[in-house]
Amino acid sequence: MEPYRVWLSEVMLQQTTVATVIPRFERFLARWPTIEALAAAPDEEVLSEWAGLGYYARARNLIACARTVAARGSFPRTARELRELPGLGAYTSAAVAAIAFGEHAAAVDTNVARVVARLHALRRPAPGAIDRLVFDMIPPGRAGDFTQAMMDLGATICRPRNPRCAACPLAPDCLAFASGEPAAYPEPKVRAVRPHRFGIAYWIEQCGSVWLVRRPPRGVFGGMAALPGPEWTEQAEASVNALGTVRHVFTHFSLDLAIVPRADPEGEGWWQPLDGLADAGLPTLYRRAADLALTARSAA
């Protein structure tokens, strides 16, 4: 398969469902059909197109990786070399190497790890154990087909809850299925308590436009369009005349963002016409905040 498409799809599918990714993947390819085209695109355009997919560090790494590959002339062909590219960890580099270049590489994501843990009835797999087992399972010369089949098996049949064992081709050899409690493997990880933060976003509207700013290049929503506001804190601040609050859950913390109207612009930014707000590339958090502000304005 064409490595650009494999790489782009794998990056998009990190922490994002297939149903969400498919239309966005097609839009990306229509707009930037080659990695050279993506590498030449302005950061703001790529970040705007990524809006709504979440985990925005992926978008920044996507830009950096595209430019690195375009500069060298092609993708590396091995998992070891691919892992040196921005944003490619052990799984993504192995997946691209296996699917695009046929390398005998073990691509182990959460779904694949669950399939193999159940196949061998491993409640708490030792570090590296799953990778070794997957590597030994790969049929010679069929690394790409095997990798995609295992991904699909874990996503659609060997599900975390209510696995569809009757439809699983591995059921006759699956020790977890033989135990009668396949969903008990592997044991779920204990989740740490997610901290909570508080923030304020200013709604500054004049003459049919709203004032937007660009987030700092590093950190949450790095480089993305946003409503202006101070840094988020661990203590709630009094929000006078707040239009409402949006709650958003990130990977490592949750946030209550109060939407507060102001009269004058805050920070360096631009006036975005309200009838073109959908084209601003706002992340989901700020898109919901804008929707709240517009609803509150209509109800006033």
Active site residues: 10
Q: Residues 249, 192: contact at Cβ < 8 Å?
A: no
Longest dimension (CA), the chain: 68
* Distance in angstroms (rounded) separating the CA atoms of residues 62 and 16: 15
Q: Strands 209-214 and 225-226, how do they pair?
A: antiparallel
Coil, strand or helix: which one is 197? strand
The two three-digit tokens of residue 222, written as one number:
């790095």
Coil, strand or helix: which one is 61? helix
Stated as kind and residue range, the H or E segment containing 213 is strand 209-214
Q: Residue for token digits 């040196």?
A: 84
Q: Residue for token digits 């901290």?
A: 195
* Distance in angstroms (rounded) separating the CA atoms of residues 96 and 238: 49
Coil, strand or helix: which one is 52? coil
Stated as kind and residue range, the H or E segment containing 270 is strand 269-273
* Distance in angstroms (rounded) separating the CA atoms of residues 36 and 107: 26
The two three-digit tokens of residue 84, written as one number:
């040196």
* Distance in angstroms (rounded) separating the CA atoms of residues 50 and 225: 11
* Distance in angstroms (rounded) separating the CA atoms of residues 68 and 90: 18
Ramachandran category for residue 15: left, alpha or beta (phi over 0 → left; psi -120 to 50 → alpha): left
